[in-house]
Amino acid sequence: MTAGPDTAPLGSRGVQVTRIGLGCAPIGNLYEAIDDASATATVDAAWEAGIRFFDTAPLYGHGLSERRLGRALAGRRRDDYALCSKVGRLLRPAGGGVSSIFALPDGDEASTVEPVFDLSADGIRRSLDESLERLGTDHLDVALLHDPDDHEDQALDEALPALLRLRDEGILRAVGVGMNQWQMLDRFVQRVDLDLVLVAGRSTLLDRSADEVLLPHCAAAGVGVVVGGVFNSGVLVDPGPGATYDYGAVPPEVAARVERLRDACARAEVPLGAAALQWALRHEPVSSVLVGARSAEEVADDVAWATVSVPEDLWDELEAVR
């Protein structure tokens, strides 16, 4: 096995994670279908690179990501890695055709179910039990309430207390919330005894809003931070024609900023992707950055970018690009 990424504590309850984690939405056919063998090869490549933190969710491929990840990790010693999944959505039989951003394979059970929000205490427990079955494991290290954007009151009144009870009973090691926005996460950090948050797309070279408010509050409260979406859905890896920003077209003003960022990196002979990945890792409360990959080659690129030496004066130059 090659030397892997460094590790860091995630919160204060003994969960240790590698500084680079594998985000498993792509192996759930996010936007583009891959086969089972490619999914397994992706997880195997992450393992060989030393990655020991894996993040998935029932939403990803409507269960496909969890099932593929569980099969790929089967046979590996359970104490050797940290496993995170999410709660708050149950997969239930679809009433008709399933519309999804995931390419659901015909004939697979993923194409017959749809995610349904359920933030009740019973729903949280059912979500956990069903994820464990799909993953083929007896426990999660981390469980995150997933995207409660339109359900803040129920999250505070029912879902998060249920997660805290599961943690206090020893069923979960750490609990938190995962979202694409930082504002609600910040309110949760101030009101709930969370161990961590996962913030996606808001601690990046292009969108630094979490850096300025949420991260300092997490540091003060001793709440761990996992960052996803560091490439803002691709524009910070390949900013050419067809690039996407936060899963949509790239606005002209964003394209202009990306061009300035890319020019600064080129002068320093640093890949833009390396600067984008390491941006979040520089912040004090960030324990791990998730990289989404759908192939062994993408894993290799991400791991290589994590080890590129970035001159300090380049960070100063990138900081000035706003």
Give catalytic residue positions.
60
Which ranges of the chain would DSSP assign to H, the alpha helix?
36-48, 64-73, 121-135, 152-154, 160-168, 183-191, 209-212, 214-221, 252-267, 272-281, 296-306, 312-319
* 85 half-sphere exposure, CB direction, 13 A CA radius: 32
For residues 124 and 90, the answer to whether their CB atoms sit within 8 Å is no
Q: CB-based contacts of 234: which residues, under 8 Å, 6+ apart?
A: 243, 244, 245
- Positive or negative, the Cα torsion across 191, 197, 198, 200? positive
Q: How far apart are CA 298 and CA 66, in angstroms?
A: 20
User: Tokens in use for 273?
Assistant: 């992707």
